[in-house]
Structure 1
Amino acid sequence: MNPSIEATAWEENCPDSLLDICTRYVLQHPQTYCCPKKFNNNMNEVAVDEAARVTPEINEAPIIFTLLPDLHLPTEICEKLFATLHEEGLDIEDCTAGIFADVTSCRLRRVNVRCSSITDHGLEYLLRHNLRDLDIHNCEALTPRTLESLNKYSKHLVNLNIGNTVQILPDYIYPKSDELDEDDVDSLDEEDRARTVFHERGYILNAPHLQKLCIRDLFVTRGSNYLSLLLKPLPRLTHLDLSSLHHTEGLGDLEVLKELTQLTSLVLHNFTQGITSEAVKTICQIKTLRHLDLSHQEEKMGKFLDPNETLAFIVLSLPHLTSLDISGTNLAGGSAQTSPTTPNAASKTLSSANSGASGLSDGLDGEDLSFKCDIPGLASRVNNPLEFLGLYKTSHDACYRVQIPAKQISGDANEKQILVAGRQYLDRPVVLENVLNDLFHIFRYENCLNIKAALDIILLAMDRHPGEKVIQISGSASLYYVVKVELKENINVKMKKKILATLLNGMFAHKNDAIMMRNGCLTLCQFTMPQDVIFDYERLVRILLYIVSEHKQPDTAFVQRAGIYLLNTLACQVDGQQKLLLGNLGTMEKMLCLIREREVNGNCDDVMETAWSCMWNVTDETPINCKRFLDGCGMQLFLQCKAQFPEKHDLLRNMMGLLGNVAEVPELRSTLMTPEFVSEFTHLLRSNMNGIEVSYNAAGVLAHMASDGAEAWTIESPSREEVLQDMENVIEGWDLTTKRNINYRSFEPILRLVRVQHTPQCQHWAVWALANLTKVDGKYCGLVEQEGGLSLLEELINSNVPQLSYPRVLELAAMVRDNVTQWKERDGVEPADESLEFDG
C-alpha cells in the first residue's frame, strides 16, 4: 500500500514540546541563528549594509543567510527546522537553503522542499550534504542543472521523490555521437548535443544506492532506450513509481523492469498509452513484487483484453503479492456468475506465450472457488485474501460486490472504502478530487460515522496540495460540516489550530477564487472568536482584509459580507495589542475606502454599517487608529453619510460610537472643535433614534470636548453654555433601566470624566453611564470596582466641593455604589476573590 497511509494530521491535546516551541521561535526570529551575507556576480562575499538586509533591490547582488559564526547544528535540529517550515506553511527559498550551505557547521540527511520556490542554486546547497532522502515534488523553479547536481552528490541517496518536477530530466535522448555519421553530428543543435551525453556516460541518474524512486508525469518524446538509461544504473531499487509516464515512441514490453531484481513495489498508475499484454508478462516475471499498481484515472484508458484472465495470471504469477490496485480499469471484470474463469484457465490463456509462467496452478487442489468470489480473476485468493485491493472507479462498479478477497478495499461503495481511498491516493490530485467529493456527499446527505478519519484525510489532502484549487475547495466544503458538528465537543485545541492553519493556507493560495473564500468564511464562522483563532490572528486578519477590499463584484457580495462580519467580530473582542495590529495592517484605510465607494453610489447596506462598526471597535482605546480615521478624512465621510442616510439608525449609532472613541483622545479633540461638527453632535444629542444609543454617544463626545475647559472651546456657535445646558436636559430624560447595545472593556475614559470638577455636566454623563450599566448588567459592577471606580465615587460623594447646583451627580454616584454593593451581596463576591470574565 501507499506509504502515505502512515501519515496523520491528528494531534493529541497535549502541550507543545520545548523543541517545537524553540524551533518555531527561531524560525520567526532568524537573527537568533543566522545572518545575511551578500555576494557579487562571482559569488565572492561583500559587505551587507543595513538597508539591504531589509529590502534588497532586485538587480543587486544576491543575499543569502548563513549560520552565525561558531554555531554548529546537529542533524536532528536541522531537519526539525525543515519539518516546521512545512508545518507552518512557509516557503523554502534559496536564502533559507543557504543557511545550511556549510556542511562543516550543520548536517542534513533528509530534506523535503516539495511545493517550494527553491532554485538550482538553493538545492545545491542542500545536496552538498550527500542526502539519504530528498523530496523535490512540485518545485517549478528547478531546471536540468539540478540533475547534474543530483548526480554529483547522490552517492548516498536512498529515497528520491522527483514527483512532477520532471523538467529536471531530459525529455528525449539522442544516440551516442560515435553512432551518428559526421553530417548528423554537424546538424545537431546545442540542446541535441547535450542529449547525447546520457548515452556516452550510460546513465541519466547516478545514484547507485537508490532504493525508492518516484517520477510522475514524465513525457518522453524520443529515445527508445530512455527507460533503460534511467533504470538499469539503479539495481538496488525496491520501490518504483512511474505514474503517468508517456513515451511517444511507445513503452513496449517494459523489459528493463526485469533488471530490477530487488523490486517489491511497482506503481504504473495512469499509463496514458495503456499497458500491453507483453508488458503484463514482463511484470509477472518480477517475482519479488509485493505491491503492484496498474490503476488509471480514467476508465476508458484502463481497458485490458481478456481482463479476467489477465488479472488471474497476475495474481498467480506473483507469489508474494499482498497489495494490488486496479482502480479505473476493467480488470475486475463482470460478476463471477456471468464470467466464470478458473485459475487453471487463466494460467493456460496467458502462459502459452510465456513459458516462465508454466506450472502457476501447481499446489491448487482443483477446487472451483469462483462461486466464493465476485471478482473472477481473484478466485485464487479466496483463501489468501490480499491486504489491499484498489477498486476505486472500476468498470462495472466492482467495489459494490459482496465477495471480494481483500482485507482493505478502496472504492466508493461506502464510507469505509472512501476513507481507504483517501489515504491511498493522497499523492494523486485528480483521484483525490473525486475522493473528497465523495466525502462531501457523505457529510451533506448522509451521516459520517468516522469523523476523525475523515478529518484526517481532508487535512492531509489540503496540506499536501496547496496549489490544487479543486482539492482546496472540496476539502474546505467538507471542513465546514466537520467543524459545524464536531468543533465544540470532540475537536481538541491543537486540532482547532491545525484546521485553521490548513484552511488559511488554502485561502491564501486561492484568494481570488470566490468559492474558496465563501467556503473559508463559512467555516471560520463556526469557530469561537477570538479564542479559537488568536494564535493565527495576523494571517486571519490579512485574508479577511483582502476579501473585503477585493471581492467587490455583485456575484461575490456574500463573500464580502461574510468577510467584514468576521473582521468586525475579531475587532470587537480583543485587547489593545490586536487592535494595534488591525490598524497596522490597514483596517482603517480599507474600511474608509469601502464606505466611500458605497456613499458615492448611495448604497447604505449592511456592509457599510458593519464597516463603521468595525472602525468603532478598532479605535476603542487605541489613539493611533483614531488618528488614522481622521487622517483618512473620516469626519468628512461621517458628515456625508449622515446627510445622505439620515434615517439609518444603526449607521448613526455606529458612527457616533466611533466618534466617541476619537473624542476620548485629548490630542485629537481639537480636530472635532468646528462649528459644523459640534452642530451635528448637538443635533444628534436630541435624537431619539435607536433608543438612547445615538443620543448617548453624542453626549459622550460633547462631554469629552467640554472636559478640556472653557479655554479649549474655540468656537462661538454653538456656545459652550448652550451645549452644556442641552446635555443636562437630555441626560435627565434618559431611562436608567434602558438595556444597552454596547460592550465596555474598560471604564477608564468614563472615570476620567468623573474627576472633571470644573464642568459637572461631564460628571453627569459619566456617572449616569455607570449607574445605568451597573443596573442593567452585573458584570459592570465588578469592572467598576476593579478599576478603582468605587473609591473614586466615594471621594466624590464625601467631598466638600459645592454640588448644590448639581445634586443629581451625587445621587447617581450613590446609585452606582448601591448597585455594586447589592451585586456583591447577591453573588457573594469578596473583593479579593473577584475573577471576572468579560465579553471579549
Structure 2
Amino acid sequence: MVHFLHPGLSPRNLVPPDAQKDAVGCCVVQEEASPYSLVNICLHAMIENLEKLCSERPDGTLGFPEHWSFPQEVADRFLAVMTSQGKLTDKTASIFQGNQMKLKLVNIQKAKISAAAFLKAFCHHKLIELDATAVHTDLPVPDIISGLCSNGWIQQNLQCLLLDSASIPPDSRPLFFGQLTGLRILSVFSMCFHNEDLASVSQLPRLESLDISNTLVTNISALLNCKDQLKSLTMHYLKCLTMTRPQFLAVIRELRCLIHLDISDHRHLRSDLAFHLLQQKDILPNIVSLDISGSTCITDQAVELFIQQRPAMQFVGLLATDAGYSDFLTTKKGLRVAGGANISQISEALSRYRNRSCFVKEALCRLFTETFSVQITMPAILKLVAIGMRNHPLDLPVQFTASACALNLTRQGLARGMPVRLLSEVTCLLFKALKNFPHYQQLSPEQTAQLEEELVMAVKELLAIIKQKTAENLDDVTLLFTLKALWNLTDESPAACKHFIENQGLAIFIQVLENNIAEVREFSSRLVTEDMMRHISSLLHSKEMEVSYFAAASRYCQMLVEEGGWQLLCDIREHGEVDPLVQQGAASILSDFRMHFLNYQSPALC
C-alpha cells in the first residue's frame, strides 16, 4: 500500500537469512514477519473491550455473562495476556471466579492484586503451576502460600511455584512450604528466604528443581535431605554464604543426582568456589549443565579438563570470566557456551541470562564490540537485545548499552533486512528508555572519577596503536576506528585531553597529518578541480549524515580559500549552464561556512 501511494519509494523486499547458516535468524524473520494468530487477535480485542463485555457486580468487580465458558488452554492464555498488558487488577481478576474459566497455568507476574482477590479468583482452580514473579506487595508470599494450601487438590498437585522477587513482611516467619507436597519446581530468587526456609523446602518429597539465588541462605547443608532426588540447583549470587570451601564442596559432592548446577556470581564478589569445584574429580558425575559465569580464576585449561572428564555435558556458562576463548570451547559440537568470545557465545548468554541484569549488561558490552562494524543482518540478535531492554526497563546500563547495540545492528542498510514488527518494537523500547531517563547524558562526575584509571590506559593504548600504524604507513580499519575512538574520548572531556597531551598525543597526530594528502600543501592544488567541486557538492546532499558532514569539513574549505578554490565555488554558483544541483551545493558551502571563516584574512570571504 505504501508503495502504491508513494511510487517514488522502492518496495521493501525482506530477504530472510540463509537457514543453512543462520537457522535461528531465519526462524525469527518468519515469526516476526508472520501475522499474529487469530486466537491472540481475539484475546487482545476482548481485553481491550473487557468492561463493555462484562457486567459490573455490586462490589464494583467485573463478571462475564453466565452462559460464557472458556477451554482451559484459552483461559490460561487469556490470563497471561491480561497480566502482560498490566490489566490484571482486583476489579478484573474477578472474571476468573466461579467455573466459567478453568485454569491450570496461572501467570500473575508483576500484577497488582490483593490477597483477597487472589484467594477468590485463583485458589479454587486445579492449579499445577503458579508464576507470581515480582507480584505487588499487596500480595505477600505468606498469603500466596496460605491461599494455595486452602485447596487440598492444589496441596497435592501443584508442581511449579515461582516466587522470584516476591515480598515477605518482616513479622511472617517461617514460611510453610511443607504443605505443598506435590511441588517439583520451586524458585525463590531474590526473596527474603532463610536457612530455616531451606530446611522446610528440602523436606518436600518430590522436589527436583530449586532456585535459591540472591537469598539470605548462609548454609546449604539442609540440601542433603533431598540429595537423592534433586536434579537442578541454582545458587546465583549466594552473597550471604558463610560455609568454608571444604564444607560447601562436601555438600555438592553428595548431590550426585544433579544434572544442572548454577553457582554463577557477580564479578565484584570475587568468589573462587567455582575454581576449586573444577579441580575435583569425584564430583557431579551426572552433570550436564554447569554455570560458573562471573567467577574468578577460571581458565580454559581447567574448564576443558572438567568437561573431558564428563563427556555428557551440554552447557557451560563462562560469561565475565577469563575462559571460553580456546578452540575447544569455541568449536566443540554439542556444547553450548554462554560467554563473550564470539557472537554465538554472546547470543547464548543473552538468551540464558535475560532475567539477570548484571549478565545482560556484560553480554551487551561484548555484543557492542562484536557488532561495531558488522555488515550482515542479524535479526535473532536484535530480538535478544529487545528482550533485554524489555525485561530491565529501569536499569540504566542495560538500556544505554542496548541502545548502542541496536544502532550497530540497524545502521545504514542493515535495517532493511529486519522485520518491520521487530524494528517497531525496538523503536518503542528506545522511546521508553528516553522517557525513563530524560535527564541522562553521559556520565556523572562520580562515575567519571571511577573511570579515571581506565581512561588513562585507554588513551595510552590508542595512541600506541596510532603511532605503530603511522610508522608502518598502514591505513586500515584499525587505524580508522582508533582515531574515531580518540575523537570520542577527548570530545568535551578535559581529563581525556590532559592525558592525550601528557602522552605525546600532539606529536603523534602531527605525524598522522604529515601522511595525509589533504594536509600536504604541494598536493592540495591538484585537489581543487571543478570535477572535485561537483563531487563534493553532490556529497553535501547525501542521505548519510556522516558523508554530508565530512563533505562540508571546515579544513577543506580553508584549503579552498588558500588555493583560490573559493572563487571557483563562486563561479560555479553564478554560471547558469552548470547543473542546478552543483550550483546549489556551491551556494550551500559559501553560505554555511562564511560565518566560520569571518576571522580568516581573505578578501574572498569579505
Q: TM-score range by the shorter chain?
A: 0.5 to 0.7
Deviation for aligned residue 1:379 = 4.8
User: Which of 94, 101, 117 pairs up with 2:97?
Assistant: 101
Change (3 A) 1:471 1:330: closer
Residue number in structure 1 paired with 2:287: 321
SS in 2 for 1:226: helix
Could you tell me which residue of structure 1 aligns to residue 539 of structure 2?
none
Q: Check 1:91–1:432 CA distance in 2 against 1; reply closer, same or farther (3 A cut).
A: farther
User: 1:460 & 1:442 partners in 2: Cα distance?
Assistant: 19
Question: With CA pairs under 8 Å and 6+ residues apart, which has the higher RCO, 1 or 2?
Answer: 2
Q: Distance in 1 between matches of 2:55 and 2:422?
A: 34
Partner Cα separation in structure 2 for residue 448 and residue 265 of structure 1? 40
Distance in 2 of aligned mates of 1:256 and 1:163: 20
Identity %: 23
The match for 2:6 is none
1:127 offset after TM fit, Å? 2.9
3-state secondary structure, aligned to 1:225? helix
Secondary structure, aligned partner of 1:403: helix
Quickly say closer, same or farther: Cα 1:208–1:29, change in 2 above 3 A. same
- Deviation for aligned residue 1:206: 2.6
Structure 1 Cα separation of the partners of residues 381 and 306 of structure 2: 31
Contact conserved, 2:353 with 2:360, CA < 8 A, in 1? yes
Please say if 1:17 is aligned against 2:18: no
Describe the shift of the 1:451–1:488 C-alpha distance in structure 2 as closer, same or farther (beyond 3 A). Answer: closer
Q: 1:290 to 1:228 in 2, by over 3 A?
A: same
Change (3 A) 1:425 1:259: same
Paired residues of 2:55 and 2:62 also in contact (CA < 8 A): yes
1:387 correspondence with 2:311: no
SS in 1 for 2:82: helix
- Paired residue secondary structure (2:43): helix
CA distance in 1, matches of 2:437, 2:428: 15
Pairing partner for 1:214 from 187, 194, 198: 187
RMSD: 3.2
CA contact (8 A) 1:91 1:117 kept: no
The one-letter code of the counterpart of 1:163 is: D
Equivalent residue for 1:400? 325
Q: Which residue of 2 aligns with 1:240?
A: 210
User: How many corresponding residue pairs?
Assistant: 407
Q: Is structure 2 residue 392 aligned with structure 1 residue 465?
A: yes
Deviation at 1:471, TM superposition (A): 2.8
Displacement of 1:421:
0.9
Secondary structure of the structure 2 residue equivalent to 1:457: helix
Pair 260,285 (structure 1): closer, same or farther in 2 beyond 3 Å: closer
Q: Specify which of 80, 90, 97 is matched with residue 86 of structure 2.
A: 90
- What one-letter code is carried by the residue in structure 1 that aligns with 2:95? I
C-alpha distance in structure 2 between counterparts of 1:501 and 1:109, whole Å: 33
Seen in structure 2, the aligned counterparts of structure 1 residues 410 and 335 have a Cα distance that, compared at 3 Å, is closer
Q: Does residue 162 of the first structure (1) align with residue 160 of the second (2)?
A: no
1:27 alignment counterpart: 47
Instruction: Name the CA distance, whole Å, in 2 between partners of 1:32 and 1:76.
Output: 24
Unaligned stretches of 5+ in structure 2? 1-23, 443-606
Cα-to-partner distance string for 1:584-608 (whole Å, 9 max, x where unaligned): xxxxxxxxxxxxxxxxxxxxxxxxx
- Asked if 2 retains the 8 angstrom alpha-carbon contact of 1:287 and 1:317, the reply is yes
1:227 counterpart letter in structure 2: L
**Deviation of residue 132 (structure 1)?**
1.4
Distance, in Å, in 1 between the alignment partners of 2:114 and 2:57 is 18
Would the aligned equivalents of 1:374 and 1:403 in 2 still touch at CA under 8 Å?
no
Kindly report which structure 2 residues correspond to 1:309-708, keeping only aligned pairs within 5 A, or say none. 310-313=277-280, 316-330=282-296, 332=298, 334=299, 336=301, 375-381=304-310, 384=311, 386-394=313-321, 397-404=322-329, 407-443=335-371, 445-447=372-374, 451-485=378-412, 488-503=415-430, 506=433, 510=436, 512=438, 514=440
Per the TM alignment, residue 331 of structure 1 is displaced from its structure 2 partner at its CA by: 6.2
Which of 192, 216, 221 pairs up with 1:254?
A: 221
Q: How far does residue 486 in structure 1 lie from its aligned partner after superposition?
A: 5.8
| 1: CA distance, partners of 2:93 / 2:290 | 39
SS of residue paired to 2:190:
coil
Name the structure 1 match of 2:479. Answer: none
Whether the 8 Å contact between 1:295 and 1:302 is mirrored in structure 2 is: no
Task: Name the amino acid aligned to 2:77.
Answer: K
Aligned to 1:110: 105
Q: 1:235 touches 1:261 (CA, 8 Å); kept in 2?
A: no
8 A contact 2:202–2:222 mirrored in 1: no
User: Aligned AA for 1:23?
Assistant: L
2:105 is aligned with 1:70: no
Which residue type is aligned with residue 225 of structure 1?
E
Is the alpha carbon distance of 1:480 and 1:447 closer, same or farther for their aligned partners in structure 2, counting shifts above 3 Å? closer
For the pair 1:277 / 2:204, whether they are aligned, the reply is no
Deviations 1:381-430 (A, max 9, x none): 4xx26211111112xx1223343477121111222211111111112122
Task: Look up the SS of the partner of 1:20 in the other structure.
Answer: helix
> What is the rounded CA distance, in whole Å, between the counterparts of 1:513 and 1:119 in structure 2?
35
What is the match of residue 294 of structure 1?
263
1:106 is paired with a residue whose SS is: coil
- For 1:836, the equivalent position in structure 2 comes to none
Instruction: After TM superposition, give the deviation of residue 463 of structure 1 in Å.
Output: 2.7
2:428 and 2:80 mapped to 1: Cα distance? 15
Distance 1:502-1:126 versus aligned 2 partners, 3 A rule: farther
Aligned residue type for 2:158: L
**Contact map agreement 1:374 1:402 (CA 8 A) in 2:** no
TM norm structure 1: 0.45
The answer on whether the counterparts of 1:212 and 1:239 sit within 8 Å (CA) in structure 2 is yes
- Counterpart of 2:272 in structure 1 is 303
- 1:804 corresponds to which residue? none
- Structure 1 position 264 matched with structure 2 position 231: yes
Residues 32, 433 of structure 1: CA spacing in aligned structure 2 closer, same or farther, 3 A cutoff? same
1:81 and 2:62 are equivalent in the alignment: no
Give the aligned partner of residue 123 of structure 2. Answer: 127
Write the distance in 1 (CA, Å) between the matches of 2:147 and 2:439.
38
